[in-house]
Amino acid sequence: MERWIGEQVRRGNEPAAQMGRTLLNLYGDVALPTPTSDLSQSPANQKEVTPIEVRKFTDEAREALAKEGYVIDGLTGQSIASLRLAGRKFWTTWHQEHPQFEALASMQSEVAINPGKLWLPKSNNKTLAQQEQMINKFSEDLSKKIPGVEAIMGGMADYTDLAFAHLDQTGDYLFGEKNGYDYVRTNTPTVGTLVAIVGDFSPSDGLGVGHWDRGRGNGPVFAAPLVVPN
């Protein structure tokens, strides 16, 4: 954790550095689960590693999403481990000691995001439960406008896969400079009450994966819904 804080200070990302200091003060140098821990048995992670049929938007939904400013990317079951093997860079290193965490795979589905409106407004400084409620409300409103789609909070692997897939398609760094180097909350648990967060994506150093308490909000930790076919 101290190394992570130092990286934030070096990048000038003081909000993230302060988030790390708070976590360090609350929990000390938090240790993540070992490969024999309960992490691999959690329902959320079991869903992530279970292969599913590749889902695609209908032509009507694709057209409607495009009119609303959405970009469609394809998630293909990538994990931190497979992304790194493909030459992708992660500036965080703690997860290298947790192979089960690094092996969590993204969903196999098309997903749509609005790069200009990546974060739900005022979704930072909220608990995980509050952010999930905001995404549920967003999904209800969107599905009324565009039939055949829904919005979800993704897992850690979904957002890491998305970051690189979107970079390949558009050249833009999600969770990078345009988005304040902030973080997206995920539904992937790490240890205790902590869940993974993904962000601080830079061309020089790569993508960051951290964690934050599900019952606490923080300024740099936002909700970013993934729109998927239903």
Whether pLDDT at 89 is above 80: yes
Name residue 152's beta-bridge partners.
226
Phi, psi dihedrals of residue 49, rounded to the nearest 5° = -90, -5
Q: How confident is the model at residue 17 (pLDDT cuts 50, 70, 90)?
A: low
pLDDT beyond 80 at 16? no
Amino acid at 11: R
61-81 residue pLDDT tens: 999 999 999 999 999 999 999
pLDDT attached to residue 38 = 42
Yes or no: say if 114 and 71 are a contact pair by the CB < 8 Å rule.
Answer: yes
**pLDDT tens across 94-117, in order?**
999 999 999 999 999 999 999 999
Average pLDDT over residues 15-21: 58
